[in-house]
Structure 1
């Protein structure tokens, strides 16, 4: 496969991972309204407590804030194409933690229904790319 054949699929993967993660954050902040997975922060905290049942409540709440921070940081970096490899690795491991937590707490069906495994695998595939097209990284490498 030539570089020319990879450019748009790679960009599509980068953008789809970004938009998907940002949509999840928008949901927990109430931007998607009542017909959504969480609809507000309180519901998201309750869901996080389910996934992190093995943690004390204070650490569970902290993990909700930490996950949200990284779920904002990584997709913004991916959208810009800046520090793309780091953002893709971070997204891969964040989604992997989500998938494993969902599997342990809720069973295998939940992460499969939400394609969390696919998102993690896609981020991993993005992380191992030799070059990032249509990105700030590409521009800075040329300089």
Structure 2
């Protein structure tokens, strides 16, 4: 049986794991993981985004690289900080689902499985379905008991 404390730990772990995964990808495209990583720099990431979004016009493909990076950073910060967790989890699930679908169309069904994009999307939607956010205060730090 999972206790409330265990459930809260698992939820925080899931939030941090999803955010860390996305931030790692962002770090890679800015060269922070070195040249031997998936992309190693922004130019390689833009080229890869062009391959994944080959069904889009070129300008939209380039825009997708910037939009994905912006949303990965924003949603990761929201997940880690606990700000609008449900909204961040839904946004993350949708973002990863769009990425998985685009990868499937352009690169084949195996590609999103190799990068666990389906799992990331499902995990984000599972997080969104959680009822309780353990980092939100359950009761106020102080109570004012004013009598009228």
Give the TM-score range, shorter chain: over 0.9
Q: Which runs of 5+ in 2 are unaligned?
A: 141-148
- Structure with bigger helix share is 1
2:44 aligned partner: 43
1:73 aligned partner: 74
2:10 aligned partner: 9
* Superposed displacement of residue 56, structure 1: 1.2
1:88-103 equivalences in 2 (<5 Å):
88-103=89-104
Larger Rg computed on CA atoms:
2
Q: Hey, what's the Cα distance between the residues in 2 that align with 1:130 and 1:114? A: 28
2:76 is paired with a residue whose SS is: helix
1:56 aligned partner: 57
Q: Hey, what's the Cα distance between the residues in 2 that align with 1:108 and 1:35? A: 25
Matched, 1:125 2:126: yes
Q: Hey, what's the Cα distance between the residues in 2 that align with 1:127 and 1:107? A: 28
Judge which range, 3-12 or 121-130, deviates more. 3-12
Q: Hey, what's the Cα distance between the residues in 2 that align with 1:89 and 1:142? A: 26
Matched, 1:25 2:26: yes
